[in-house]
Amino acid sequence: MSIDPNAPLNFVDEDGSSGSGEDVNLIDGNNKRLSAAPNSDRRKRSRKATGDAIVDAMLEIAAASKMRATALMKNGDRFCISRCIKVLDEMQGVDQRLYFLALDLFENPTSREIFISLRNISASMGDIDIELDEMELVAVAAGYYYYNSLTRQTTCSLSPAGSGFMTVLLNSHDDLAIFLNIVGHNERNRVIQERFQHSGETISRHFNNVLKAIKSLSREFLHAPPLSTPPEIIRSNRYYPYFKDCIGVIDGMHVPAHVPAKDQSRFRNKKGILSQNVLAACTFDLQFIFIYPGWEGAAADSRVLRAVLDDPDQNFPLIPEGKYYLVDTSYSNMDGFIAPYLGVRYHLQEYKGANQLPRNAKDLYNHRHASLRIVIQRCFDVLKARFPILKLAPQYAFQIQRDIVIAACVLHNYIRHEERSDWLFSSFEGMVVDELPDLDVQPDAQLASPMQQQVASLLRDSIASTMWNDFINEWNEW
């Protein structure tokens, strides 16, 4: 597919230049022959074999270059890819997801003809007022045709969404392979250029295309948890029935960030590391419910949560009455968010050695709260182990760094949903997770109203009292 070379790029790579190759023989483009150096009796057989391999590789490069030149010459055709993209870019109000579906559709010559024909029909309508924007009409048709042609289905929903569409995306061309090599191995642009034999511009374009396509699926794979009691709680006498109304866990995740010097003071967290503070909510099945990246590393976790709750556009899942999330000491104890007791040991490392048995109801409550809430740290560990790019600050624009976090969580949920026996999830099952110390020692009390705090405190005291009575009288597993 030909792309406008003047299009802006978001991919930044300091090592993007490639070698000049001045020490190799030149290729005659007309005859496609390589003028090899004369054979020498002094050369060893192994060196000759290496030279032959270089010759073969360069012949392949020459052939690929000729094919590319031939393809570019065909762009003068009425239904060429470049013209389709130009028409697509001139249209207004294009939904991002449908835009990239249309781009994929242009690989098919017949589809390009349909696209241009629809465009001409729409233009010939003159000043007739239609309900849908012309781009929406064309893009919807393109997306629907594309999805059906790849899945070989004659009937399906007009919205290619969910696991079916993700499967189509994951079975696409080199685009996804390039994307996964970058986020899954934290490879630099120059390495990917060598591996896929593409220019830096092409690598950047493919990466951004897939990133935007996967991000557009976030609402399909990040959704509210079920209202029933999670089976992970029901199966444990330590948690059931005490936490039967808990639907998930919320915590902040710090991801290293690359930001301009003028913004570094805001992004430097309490450990002195430049990072973005990512608010995350997950289920006990290690699936993300909600993800909100992009906050400065210096921002307190409780402040980020309050900003999300106060902004309806963030689409945080509505918490049903009586249900709640578990949070740590960085957050206020309020209605819908139950925190541990302050001033009482909480982290699991503190419950080791001679003083491991609980001393009172608050002590027992905090231990079980921590044992249940640790699932989100396991979720973070799996995510960063699968996508090492989240462990280092990538050299991208900050908006791209935010989108990478969202795309990684979407792929994380897709793998968890489609492959329950995934090796990485299995390797973290039952593993002792190292808890990270809270960067925010005290929550901001102003973020919760007195009424919210009172309701949450009564619920927490009730859970702790019932839990302690059962522990004393029946000596249950603690």
Q: Which residues contact 382 (CB under 8 A, 6 or more apart)?
A: 286, 412, 424, 425, 428
Instruction: Choose the weakest-confidence range: 189-203, 253-267, 348-362.
Output: 348-362
Please list the alpha-helical segments (H only) found in 419-449: 423-428
The CA distance from 368 to 468, in Å, is 11
* b/e sequence 94-129, b meaning 16+ C-beta within 10 Å: bbebbbbbbbbbbeeeebbebbbeebeebeeeeeee
Per-residue confidence (pLDDT) for residue 223, from 0 to 100:
87
The amino acid that residue 25 corresponds to is: N
Look at residues 322, 331, 321 and name the one whose alpha carbon lies nearest to residue 281.
331
The amino acid that residue 202 corresponds to is: T
Q: State what percent of residues in the chain have pLDDT above 70.
A: 61
Residue 13 confidence class, pLDDT cut points 50, 70, 90: very low
Look at residues 390, 389, 379 and name the one whose alpha carbon lies nearest to residue 416.
379
Q: Which residues contact 220 (CB under 8 A, 6 or more apart)?
A: 161, 162, 165, 166
Per-residue confidence (pLDDT) for residue 6, from 0 to 100:
47
3-state helix/strand/coil string of 406-419: HHHHHHHHHHHHHC
Q: In this predicted model, what pLDDT tens digit does every residue of 34-76 receive, in sequence order?
A: 444 444 555 555 555 655 666 666 666 666 555 555 554 544 4
- Is the distance from CB of 260 to CB of 282 less than 8 angstroms? no
Look at residues 424, 447, 318, 319 and name the one whose alpha carbon lies nearest to residue 378.
424
Q: In this predicted model, what pLDDT tens digit does every residue of 176-194 receive, in sequence order?
A: 788 888 998 888 888 888 8
Q: In what order do the strands lie in the sheet with 275-282?
A: 288-296, 275-282, 246-256, 324-326, 337-338
Residue 444 lies in a domain: yes
**Mean pLDDT, residues 6-28:** 39
Per-residue confidence (pLDDT) for residue 70, from 0 to 100:
57
Instruction: Choose the weakest-confidence range: 270-279, 297-306, 415-424.
Output: 415-424
Residue 252 confidence class, pLDDT cut points 50, 70, 90: very high
Number of domains the chain contains:
1
Instruction: Choose the weakest-confidence range: 137-141, 270-274, 342-346, 428-432.
Output: 137-141
Per-residue confidence (pLDDT) for residue 93, from 0 to 100:
63
**Is the model's pLDDT at 77 over the cut of 90?**
no
Per-residue confidence (pLDDT) for residue 420, from 0 to 100:
83
The H or E element that residue 281 is part of is strand 275-282
Residue 111 lies in a domain: no
Look at residues 342, 366, 251, 235 and name the one whose alpha carbon lies nearest to residue 301.
251
Residue 439 lies in a domain: yes
Q: In this predicted model, what pLDDT tens digit does every residue of 144-176 receive, in sequence order?
A: 444 444 444 333 333 344 455 455 444 455 677
Residue 165 lies in a domain: no
Residue 293 confidence class, pLDDT cut points 50, 70, 90: very high
61: left (phi over 0), alpha (psi -120 to 50) or beta: alpha
Long-range contacts: 114-120, Cβ < 8 Å, 24+? 114/141, 114/145, 115/79, 115/84, 115/87, 115/88, 115/142, 116/78, 116/79, 116/83, 116/84, 116/87, 119/87
Instruction: Choose the weakest-confidence range: 80-84, 120-124, 377-381, 419-423.
Output: 120-124
Per-residue confidence (pLDDT) for residue 81, from 0 to 100:
74
Per-residue confidence (pLDDT) for residue 111, from 0 to 100:
66
- Is the distance from CB of 140 to CB of 161 less than 8 angstroms? no
Per-residue confidence (pLDDT) for residue 53, from 0 to 100:
62
Cβ atoms within 10 Å of 309's Cβ, excluding its own: 15
Range(s) of the domain holding residue 356: 223-474
Residue 269 lies in a domain: yes
**Is the model's pLDDT at 1 over the cut of 70?**
no
The CA distance from 341 to 339, in Å, is 7
Per-residue confidence (pLDDT) for residue 46, from 0 to 100:
55
**Mean pLDDT, residues 214-243:** 91
Residue 349 lies in a domain: yes
Residue 348 lies in a domain: yes
Residue 151 lies in a domain: no
Q: What is the pTM of this model?
A: 0.64
Q: State what percent of residues in the chain have pLDDT above 90.
A: 36
The H or E element that residue 289 is part of is strand 288-296
Look at residues 206, 159, 198, 8 and name the one whose alpha carbon lies nearest to residue 89.
8
- Is the distance from CB of 166 to CB of 217 less than 8 angstroms? yes
DSSP 391: G
- Is the distance from CB of 353 to CB of 475 less than 8 angstroms? no
**Is the model's pLDDT at 279 over the cut of 50?**
yes
Average pLDDT, the chain: 75
The CA distance from 369 to 361, in Å, is 12
The CA distance from 297 to 440, in Å, is 11
**Tokens 């990917």 map to which residue?**
192
* b/e sequence 150-166, b meaning 16+ C-beta within 10 Å: beeeeeeeeebbeeebb
**Is the model's pLDDT at 477 over the cut of 70?**
no
SS3 218: helix
The amino acid that residue 137 corresponds to is: L
